[in-house]
Amino acid sequence: MTVQPQLTEDVHTDRLTKAAAALGYEIVDIAGFLDLVEEHAREQRKSLKVLDERASEMGQANSDVRNAVENMAQNTGETARDVEASAALMRTTGEKTRNVAGWVQNLSDRTETVSDTLRDVKSNNQQIAGIATQVNTLAINAKIEAARAGDAGRGFAVVADAINELSQKTRDAAVEISNNIERLTAWITDLGKEATGIATQAADVLENAGGTDTALTRMEASITSADKQAKRISEQAERVQIAMDDFTPALVGIERAVKSTTTGIETTHQRILRLIDTSETIVQSTALLGGSSVDTPFIQRVQSTARELTRQLEIAVETGEITLSRLFDQTYQPIPGSNPEQFLTESTRTFDKILPPLQESVLEMDSKVVFCAAVDTNGYLPTHNRKFSHPQSGDPTWNMANCRNRRIFDDRVGLKAGRSTEPFLLQVYRRDMGGGDFKMMKDLSAPIFVQGKHWGGLRLAYTF
């Protein structure tokens, strides 16, 4: 049986197309994985940078602690010595104070004794004064009797005068002594009162002396303990510094290794991107060979729909529904509160009118079709399929998957689809559905020209 040449070519073309698509699938999947690895590596580098900064800060802080602790240890050592000297001085002073207090108390007791003695002297002096008065009276009587005796009593009268004079002087002396004793008694009394007050204070000093000594002992013990703790802290800070000195080179080594790995990943990623371009060229070339392949129906549909969209846009411009400048407006106005951010242009409402019937009909051609939407040369997608054009909620993850209209998709695939002027462009990519969910699919696009000016492209995405 002879196989027809055309049939054989179609089979080989189809096999080549499938193989090229499978190759593109694997490369894009690897590229997506490298994207994640590269992102993680960048995050690790950021984390390492922060860690390095924190390590430097910690080293500086530890150095400051060491200096502070060393100063504290020096100060506590000096304070301990000062406290020991002060405690010794206070104890010596306390001992002298106790001696003075004891002497004051003894003085109080002595003043009372002196007061008693003065009272005795005063009493005796009063007796002397009484005796002098009695002698004076006797002398007066003797003098009277001597006068009565006449000449015989003259000698006795002389003696009586002498005794009278002596008794008078004795009485005067006794009065003077009494006056002096009164003044001395008053002074001793005042001294006694003062001594009593001082003695009370001295008793308080003696009572508090024991507490002061105990407080000094405790303070001395506390300072000594603080001095020991400061020395221990200084030793620990020294150990931390040694650990930090060992840690820093290790951290630098890790950072160097991560940087090298990141550079390698970035280089590999660039090479993978070039492989993606090569695989897409292969896919594109096999599709251009003609014949029938799994992608042929989708290529034909996206091209015909792009032509129809071009036709309707040119009619809108010709009828004055929209000007050419407004149609090509790329002044993207953010929609307040949108997350992910959405935008409006002067042409958005026109696309809302024209695109839905064209795009929705494409979804019905095959169950593999995921979406059909037009993007401008910057990846701006004004009007998506209805299933991806829900009003935004408060959940950004849900919005990412269900509110994809009015968004700018300026990733590699989106920009190439919007900027390609080839009859069609077939790409393989990982579609970010939000929440870490990705779908592998093919992206077909055909250029959109309005009055000879390139607006963007119509994208048709479908699964393998």
Q: Quick one: pLDDT band at residue 3, thresholds 50, 70, 90?
A: very low
Q: Please name the helix (run of DSSP H) or strand (run of DSSP E) that holds residue 128, with its range, or none.
A: helix 5-149
**CA separation for the pair 266, 34 (Å, rounded):** 9
Report yes or no: 192 and 112 within 8 Å, Cβ to Cβ: yes
Residues of the chain with CATH 3.30.450.20: 295-462
Residue scoring higher pLDDT (297 or 251): 297
The reported pLDDT for the residue numbered 180 is 75
**CA separation for the pair 98, 83 (Å, rounded):** 21
The reported pLDDT for the residue numbered 13 is 64
Question: What is the architecture, at CATH level 2, of domain 295-462?
Answer: 2-Layer Sandwich (3.30)
Is pLDDT above 90 for 5?
Answer: no
Q: Quick one: pLDDT band at residue 320, thresholds 50, 70, 90?
A: very high
The reported pLDDT for the residue numbered 372 is 98
Is pLDDT above 50 for 1?
Answer: no
The reported pLDDT for the residue numbered 319 is 96
Place of tokens 């029938």: 292
Torsion over CA: 448, 451, 454, 456 (sign): negative
Average pLDDT over residues 305-323: 97
**CA separation for the pair 185, 119 (Å, rounded):** 8
The reported pLDDT for the residue numbered 368 is 95
The reported pLDDT for the residue numbered 9 is 58
Average pLDDT over residues 276-288: 68
CA triplet 277, 283, 286: central angle to 5 degrees? 140
Domain 60-246 has CATH 1.10.287.950: yes
Which range has highest mean pLDDT (118-127, 131-140, 373-382)?
A: 373-382
Residues of the chain with CATH 1.10.287.950: 60-246
DSSP type of residue 389: B
Q: What is the mean pLDDT of the chain?
A: 79
Question: How is 323-379 classified by DSSP, letter by letter?
Answer: -HHHHT----EEPTT-SS--EE-TTHHHHHHHHHHHHHHHHTS-TTEEEEEEEETT-
Average pLDDT over residues 130-137: 76
**CA separation for the pair 374, 372 (Å, rounded):** 7
Residue scoring higher pLDDT (254 or 359): 359
Q: Quick one: pLDDT band at residue 2, thresholds 50, 70, 90?
A: very low
Which range has highest mean pLDDT (157-166, 233-242, 273-282, 413-422)?
A: 413-422
